[in-house]
Chains A and B, each alone.
Chain A
């Protein structure tokens, strides 16, 4: 089945399609994915910058609001008077307007004077060190930034804050191992601004926002940077603030739909960002999904790495792009395969249809139909084949027609010979008896001396005429005689020479040149020597009769193929004269018994008929080519290789 042209064609098409399809799938899919991924990476890097800006702006906001407050004369005066009530009123206003989680004032001795929250005026014994204020006092300048505060501090500021800061750690795959179960410290954006009076510090105003469980910054990042873009009901863009490796503020959700607070970053990212202080730009496994992510470390006011800022986009969207592209490639390949099969089928039909017709035609020819239908001639190489095939058929038909005509002639000739032979045998036998009487009595009368000269002369004429009759009857008998051949190996050239030697004198007398052109190295033939010699003599004598003084009769021998069977090799003997030639109307009757063009009494019309019979019984043929005024050629063809004369 796979050897048919159709299968080959289809398989080739399929091969090409599959190759192209596979290469497109592998190379195209990868290239596309890389391009999309690189675009996504770039986008995430930019998004991280935006997120950092939002984060920094929030710090600046806290810083600015505190600064403005310290510049107010009412505040400064109240601070100078240590008017706690007035200060608290102003602090509460500030916290409300600047959205601060905590705010308070520390004296130049580092003691908390007052703060918003339930324990607004702490007792002397309940003082908690304030790291922000301490740093501002130490530097004598305003400070702002990220600050990690202990749960004691937060509890002192406001127990509610301590509660918000407390985060249960959730087991997270891929996270670095950690012994504790809970995070209690709070990560804050804070600022501390010293208030000066005549070069001396009156106190420090501090305030800040707690990031733990606050979604303000991360949601703003999501809403402004990713513009709430969603993919399958989930936000594409996510942002997270880490305290250490713990998510304290995030809009990454766990599979059960809660914010993933308390989950931790993978140990890989932690190692690179927190421990080494480098940025992470790559796909990463976040909580339960793969994201294209960017992480950068967050340093606190003392320059220590205390957390991380993260943005990421869901990889699924980009994977989906690749999957879609691959699906399209696969669809295209499938379409290509279908097209290849269809095209192969159609093309094969178109190309092979004429060939199939030719095959059918060949089969018909082999069964004997020489005029098969081969369909319209194509305009391609097959067309050349069709034309050649048609030409071959034409020459086959021509040969067939010629062979039929020839065999019809031969059959007719054989029938003629057979019937005339029988007739001749009967007639000859019956004529010979009375002829014996005529001859005897004429000759006996001729012996008598008592008859007159005129009677004698008449008797002579009777004797001559009777001799003629005798010759004709003898010729008839020779013709009718279906004698068995007596074959023996014969050297044809020697046979021709011996025949020539018998008529050489005749030719010499009549002034005709007799030439023999023998071919070299002819095979021996098995012939009836005597009968064949008579054939040759007959042909040579006919040639001599047809020529005038000064003409030439040429005999030649050679090898040639049969006119009937191309594969059949044979030997040819040709007798060519430059004599009068034979008119076309006589050519057909040439081998008929009693057909003669010689003058009455010169020929019996049996010579060629007898010769024909002899040659035919040797399995050979005689053919004639003649042109009036130019001469004639009689060619005897005898088969080589088989024993001649078996018929």
Chain B
């Protein structure tokens, strides 16, 4: 299970990597939207964790690009400024879930599992149809 974490703050990248790797996920982390797109050209991911506020291209831009090119990859949006507007924007862009910073390891895992579980359910559905 490959997860790509995108955030300009290394402490967030480190935190996510620590928690998710402990649970057995393969975690790649990049510090910007452009780096994320570059990475995704070369590698497949099952889930993206994207921060909203980043210098240069922000999380919203990144989601837009991903939805164009890899629309099937689920995205979890992270924000340190969880206003209803931000959450609504994320959901409108096609985010699967929203998680407010700061979060505990349990809270992060809970969200991730929910999203992956849903995706797996869909996968199962798809395969059974096939």
A-B contact count (CB 8 A): 68
Q: Is the CB of A483 within 8 A of B84?
A: yes
Q: Mark A611-623, 1 if CB is under 8 A from B, else 0.
A: 0000000000000
Q: Which residues of A contact B104 (CB under 8 A)?
A: 439-440, 443
Q: Which residues of B contact A481 (CB under 8 A)?
A: 83
List residues of A (407-442) whose CB comes within 8 Å of B's CBs.
425, 428-441
List residues of B (92-130) whose CB comes within 8 Å of A's CBs.
100-106, 108
C-alpha gap A348/B53 in the complex (Å): 81
Known: A443-B105, A443-B106. A436 touches B81 (CB 8 A): no
Q: Is the CB of B22 within 8 A of A434?
A: no
Q: Which residues of A contact B53 (CB under 8 A)?
A: 429
Q: Is the CB of B15 within 8 A of A483?
A: no
Q: Is the CB of A436 within 8 A of B103?
A: yes
Q: Is the CB of B101 within 8 A of A436?
A: yes
Across the interface, B12 reaches (CB within 8 A) one of A428, A433, A483, namely A433
Q: Is the CB of A435 within 8 A of B105?
A: no
Q: A477 at the A/B interface (Cβ < 8 Å)?
A: yes
Count chain B CB atoms within 10 A of each CB in A431, A433, A438, A477 and give the residue with the most. Answer: A433
C-alpha gap A345/B68 in the complex (Å): 95
Q: Is the CB of A477 within 8 A of B82?
A: yes
Q: Is the CB of B105 within 8 A of A437?
A: no
Chain A interface extent, by class: 20 to 34
Of all chain A residues, which has the CB nearest B106?
A443
Q: A509 at the A/B interface (Cβ < 8 Å)?
A: no
Of all chain B residues, which has the CB nearest A437?
B11
Q: Which residues of A contact B73 (CB under 8 A)?
A: none
Count chain A CB atoms within 10 A of each CB in B14, B22, B80 and give the residue with the most. Answer: B80
Of all chain A residues, which has the CB nearest B84?
A483
Q: Which residues of A contact B15 (CB under 8 A)?
A: 436-437, 439-441
Q: A566 at the A/B interface (Cβ < 8 Å)?
A: no
Q: A302 at the A/B interface (Cβ < 8 Å)?
A: no
Q: Is the CB of A438 within 8 A of B102?
A: yes
Q: Mark B73-93, 1 if CB is under 8 A from A, else 0.
A: 000000011111100000000
C-alpha gap A53/B15 in the complex (Å): 161
Q: Is the CB of A441 within 8 A of B101?
A: no
Of all chain A residues, which has the CB nearest B14?
A437
List residues of B (17-46) whose CB comes within 8 Å of A's CBs.
18-19, 22
C-alpha gap A596/B12 in the complex (Å): 33
List 6 A–B pairs whose Cβ atoms lie within 8 Å, in order of A's numbering. A432-B102, A436-B80, A436-B102, A440-B105, A443-B105, A483-B85
Residues of B whose CB lies within 8 Å of any CB of A are 7, 9, 11-12, 14-16, 18-19, 22, 53, 80-85, 100-106, 108
